[in-house]
Amino acid sequence: MSINFPLLLVIAVAVCGVLALVDLVLLAPRRRSAIAAYEGQVSEPDPEVLDKLNKEPLLVEYGKSFFPVLAIVLILRSFLVEPFQIPSGSMKPTLEVGDFILVNKFAYGIRLPVLDNKVIEVGDPQRGDVMVFRYPSDPNINYIKRVIGLPGDRIAYSSDKHLTINGQPVAEKLLGEEPGTLGSAMLYQEKLGEAEHLIRKEMKRYRMEPGREWVIPQGHYFMMGDNRDNSNDSRYWNDPRIPRELLGMVPDRNIVGKAFAVWMSWPDPKMRNLPNFSRVGLIH
């Protein structure tokens, strides 16, 4: 069962805020009146009695204490920066399993928490951006991939694993090889627009029919993982509930934000190893 953390956070802030407001409007004035009445009846007020009369209900005390903290977390998480952890190797070698990343929540527009409606236009995803988004078939799941296709683009992926955008082959340079699932995997430097980054291909592995093409509709984006043969991305999504022309496309309303930095890595906490900061840096 997935947990809608943004909704829980909004509810928590609302409940704590209501408790603080009730205390400000109703309970605090009553406490002050009770203290004034007591002080008017005695010549020397007992400090213990005053403390008892001025004591806030436990629920109100907790609500007032947590409200500013939760409100700050909600604002930061909803409008500025949100942390995520990488659960799979689909973005190798750019991102490794266990990387903790930071996502810019305002790079592609200010959105209301929970509702996710864009209220302020800021910018649009650019080709080559590493973007977090909600999986179209299950919006409760967050995915992270690289933006390949923009609205209006024609994307092709050939049988020899070359990417073409609008009839132009994407520039790539072979850097070397490393062990792969089936023999060796080849490492390339790829250039998408102004973005240069590493990608990984397993030349003996095929997961789809060759020669596929996609035309990206307005308001949608085509996403691929840098680990090209070990990534569940726009090339493979299949959902009978989604119109065929939109299969594999990420609608603008599903965008979460732009991943921009790794701040910590913790590959396998179950092995009782400690987090490390060797991979800290900006994401390209």
Reduced to 3 states (helix: H, G, I; strand: E, B; else coil), residue 52 is helix
* Burial of residue 69, with CB atoms counted within 10 A of its CB: 0-12 exposed, 13-18 middle, 19 or more buried: exposed
Closest alpha carbon to 93 in 207, 180, 208: 180
Residue-by-residue DSSP string for 256-279: EEEEEEEEEE-S-GGGTPPPB-TT
The residues, ordered by sequence, that sit 6+ positions from 77 with a Cβ below 8 Å of its Cβ are 6, 9, 105, 113
Active site residue 270: no
Q: How, if at all, do strands 130-134 and 142-149 pair?
A: antiparallel
The residues, ordered by sequence, that sit 6+ positions from 254 with a Cβ below 8 Å of its Cβ are 133, 134, 135, 136, 139
The residues, ordered by sequence, that sit 6+ positions from 104 with a Cβ below 8 Å of its Cβ are 80, 81, 257, 258, 259, 260
Rounded to whole angstroms, how far apart are CA atoms 3 and 130?
Answer: 24
Catalytic residue among 92, 105, 145, 258: 145
The strands making up 168-169's β-sheet, listed across from edge to edge, are 168-169, 163-165, 154-157, 212-215
Active site residue 88: no
| Residue with tokens 């994407």, as numbered in its chain | 170
Closest alpha carbon to 259 in 133, 150, 96: 133
Catalytic residues, by residue number, are 90, 145
